[in-house]
Structure formats: structure tokens, C-alpha cells
Structure 1
Amino acid sequence: MDARARAQELYRLALDNAAWRPETLTENRGWSGTELAEALRLLGELGLFVPSSDNRNGWTALAPDTALRKLLLDEEQHTNALLTTVRQTRSSLAQVLADFQPVHARDLASAQMEVVNGMANVSAVLEDASRRAAEEVLSLHPGRALPAGMVEAGLERDRIVLGRGVQMRTIHLSSAATAPHMTAYLRRLNGAGAQVRTAHTLPLRLIVVDRSLAIVPASQTSDGEIAAVVLRGETLVGVFRGIFEHCWASATVLTESATDSPEGDWHPTGRHRELVRMLGGGLTDEAMARKLGVSERTVRRLVSELTERLGTASRFQAGVCAVRLGWLDD
């Protein structure tokens, strides 16, 4: 006899005698306790048996149509409770959207540009950016050569990024590349898989990560600490990526001779060509030194070399002569 047949037999027994005893089935008909419990469970799920304290067996048998109406009523009550919960949830969501969506939208807008103050915070941003890089890292490095300790720390970070298969392109000032520790760093970076180029002038310090994040310098704080602007979003970052690509196209591929000291034989190329252009623009020694990444004393020496080479008595005459000789023709 299967469970359904036992349930039917128990139902018939309960209709005939509401005071039926479990022993009637377990002792007289040989049911096990498990078989009796299964029959009770099935009748309870069908609504044909309901708990009752009036009977010693703990159950009351209902007519099939009564059981069906009770099941439908129970389901209707359950459904109404669910609908009430849904309405309450919808109301709560509407309140959340009304109260917090404007704040969220404002936060998204401000997240497109963030100013980070202090060396420690800027370093943390750079570290996070290097860890997040998945496709490419682009960078421009104007100014003088960094201290050897910072360079070594940067090389280790760059090697980890390159080891993940991230493409890296970087441009450094030619003048900075001649410092012995920078020469070694750039050659080792190139050997690790990065593409390295040098340029005589660069417009700004810049790092671009995966087309979606850019880091550029900001004005120093009132306390004199460094600051950086972190930009997010492909549209905004795309502008700075375009600046990098422009610089990349005109930069010089790193070679053994590219990092040799420029203090040897003078020739009217490289820094001297940039110097003539800046002289023509009326830049001061301080401004030219900043753009070339050298001291003002070096700028004055380069100007002196230029005028001596051309046999001119002034900076203006040197510029006119350089143009006449075609030194600035690309």
C-alpha cells in the first residue's frame, strides 16, 4: 500500500469514527509510525485534516468541499499579505529615490573630478591607479630628474604592472634622462617591456590609465603641499589622452645615444632648437629652464653656446640667424 492509499484509508476511518485511535492502525493494521505520520502529513497538506483539541487523536476530518474552500481562503489571505508587502516595498523605494537620488546624482557629477591634497594622498591615488590598470598606462614626466629612491620604487611598481600584460608608454625630458640614475632607470624600464621616449619639452605632468582615469598636477595647497586632480570618465580623460598622443608623435625613441650626456660636441638640434623657439616666443630664462627641466644657469650657458656658434651679439640676432639657416625647419 502506498502513501496515498494509506491516506485514503485513514480519512475513511476518521469519517466513520472521529475518535479513532492511532493504535488501530499501528497495532491492528500493522502500520509503522513513519507510515502513519506520512498519511497525516498528506491529509494535512490537502486540508482534509485540521488540528483539533477536541479529539484525543488531535485531528478533525473535514469534507472535501469544506477543505477546498479553506485552502482557497488561506491562499487568498496569503496573497493579500504578499500584495500588502509589495505595496509597502514600492512606497519605501519611492521614498528612497525621492530622498537620495539627488544626492547620488550630485556625487556622480563630482566624482568626475576630485582634488587630492598632500604627498601621502597623491601617492595612494597613484598606487591604486597602478593596481587597477588593466590595459594601458600613459605618462608624461616634465621637470628635473626624480631622486634615485623614488625612481627605484617606481620601477618596481612599473614592473608589476607590466607583468600583468598592461601596455606602458612614457615620455621623459631629454635633460632628465641624462642623469646617471635616470639613464639606468629608463633603460631598465625599456628592457622590462615599456615603450620609452624622450622630448626636449613637455606641457605638463600626466598619467592616463585605461582611457577612463587621468591624474594631473593641481596648484599647491596654502601649506605648500603638492596636490593632484583625478579625472574620471572616457570623455574627459580622452582630452588628456589626445595631449599625450600629440607629444608621443614628436618624441624620440629611447636609444643608447638618446641618454648620453649632451655635454659633448654641440650641434644645432635637440635642446638648442627648442631654445631658439622659446627665445622667439619671448620666454624668460626662468620659464625656459622650467620647460627644459634644467637650471637657469644651464639655460644661460645654452644661450651663450648658441650665440657663439652663430657669431651673434644678442639673443634676438641668434634667433633670426637660426631661422635664416633653416635650423627650425622640420
Structure 2
Amino acid sequence: MYDVLDPDSERGRIYRSLVSHPGAPAGALAASTGLSEHAVRKLLAELAAADVVVTTDQEPDGWEALSPLYVVESLLQREAARRTGLRQAGAELERLYRVARRESGQYGALEVVEGASRVLAAVRRLQFSARREVRVIDVPPYTGAPDYYPSQEDLQRERMAAGIAYRVIYHGSAYDDPIAGPNMARMIEAGEQARTLDEAPLKLAFGDDELAVLTLAGDDRAEVIALLVRPSGLFRALSNVFEALWRLAVPASTAGIGTQIDARDRQILTLMASGATDEAIARRLGLGRRTVVRRVSALLTRLGATTRFQAGVQAARRGWL
């Protein structure tokens, strides 16, 4: 009955005609809608049963449309009831699904996916379905067809433009990787929140709090496999692992990648890494405190660091120390 508001449907044409011509008889409605009178009477009976139109005593065989606001509210209430029924049915089926798999020795929150193409497709679906945030731990090996990475960048840009936040932890070797390095630089410039962590332990992606994809080596096989993990105790544990690693990771930056620094900045970085204050660095190098503060701020920006410790780690990774 939802097509009653569609002006191109038969019910919609009749209802719209009655809105404009209250009290119109079936014959007049047939003429205005281009339908046969038999079809109009059949459709009027259906609309009356749905509480959309009523007969009127003012005209012989006359019909009256009920208020569009009333009709819309009624349709919305029916749709809400239908959705509630669907959710209840789905929840009951989900319980049966999980019970059946527990009884068969399976863990209902897990699904195994085999093959690089299927794993990558699962990660793409995860990003498409996310409504708030995508979290990723990206570690070698980097798999996929040659066109995967450009298409992944396009997808990520599209999702970020739609308001989806991306937080990514890269392996410490990402800067030197011909695949991950340029990809990371472009995504950071596009708005990705990125951090790096030496020896990140696993390849993992989250779509909101609804789905995780944990990618694993195939052990004794060359094939890639992944575990699709849905909300469960295991999901919460993996999410907590990500957040713990995120706190440990160092903010990544594309500023200054591949460039060198002068001897004075290298001295400042070395003293910063040893814990020296701006005043101590100034005294040690014979510089003014303001000069040191300015150069320290510039180094932090180039390294994408928020603390002196992070700056030291980033500088060491880039071979500046």
C-alpha cells in the first residue's frame, strides 16, 4: 500500500485525484486516471480497507480521500511495526544460527575466508558497511593484484569524503616499502590518522564495532586466509589490542620523508632524545633559547611527532641520528 503516495502508480493516481476532487464518484475517477471503472472500484475497495479513502454521503457513489498527513503517519507506523517484526524475526533466527553452530562445535562469531581475492573483497565490504570509523593494522606481506592499491585508495578517499574516519597503524618498515610508503603518504595527505609501530604483530581491520577481518598466513599453505570476527568476546579482545597498540604507536607524517637535516638540527635531535630541555640544549650548543624552541618546533612538525620521545623514534627510523 506504500505506492499510494506514488503519482505514477494506479493507487497513487486515484488517491491524488481524490485529494484534488473530493467526493468524486468512481466514474469520474476512471475518466481522470485513465483506468477502467471496474479497476477503479477494485482499487477503491483496497484503499478503503487500508483506511486511505472513505465513501461520502454527500454525492451518490462519492469517495473522499483521508488527509495526506494522516495517511503518511499511518504508513510510517506500519513501516515501523514491519521493521520491528523483521528485527525480532532476525534476532530469533540469529539465536537459532548460533545455537546450531555451538552444537556442531563451531564458534558463531567466526567465519573463515580463504584466498587473497576473497580476503581483499571482505576488507572492501567492511569499509563499505562502516558508518563511523575504519581501524587498520597494516603489516607485510602486501598482497593483491596490481590494480588493488589504486582502487583501495579511491575507496578510502570516497569513504573519508563521506565522513568515515580512518585510523591506521603501519609497520615500522612502511616508510621504506615501495607499496606501503607512497600509499601511506597519500592517505595521510587525504586526512587519514596514521601511526607507525615497530614489529606490529598482526594484520587486522575493523568496521565500526560490527566486523573485524584478521588476516593470517596459511601456515603450511601458500594461500592467505582470514577470520571474519563479529561482535563477541573475541571481537572485544581484538579491539582492545588495537587501542593498546595505537597508544604505543608513533604518529606518522609525510613531512620531510626522504630529506636530510643539517648538523645543527642533528645535534638538537640527539640532545632531545637524551632528555635535554630547551635551556640545556641552548647552553650546550651556544644558541639562544628562542632559536632552540623554534628549531625544536620545526623538527616536531617535520617528524609528525607530538612529544620529544616520538621525535627521537621517528628521527632514528629515518636515519637522522
Q: TM-score, normalised by structure 1?
A: 0.44
Instruction: Choose 1 or 2 for highest CA Rg.
Output: 1
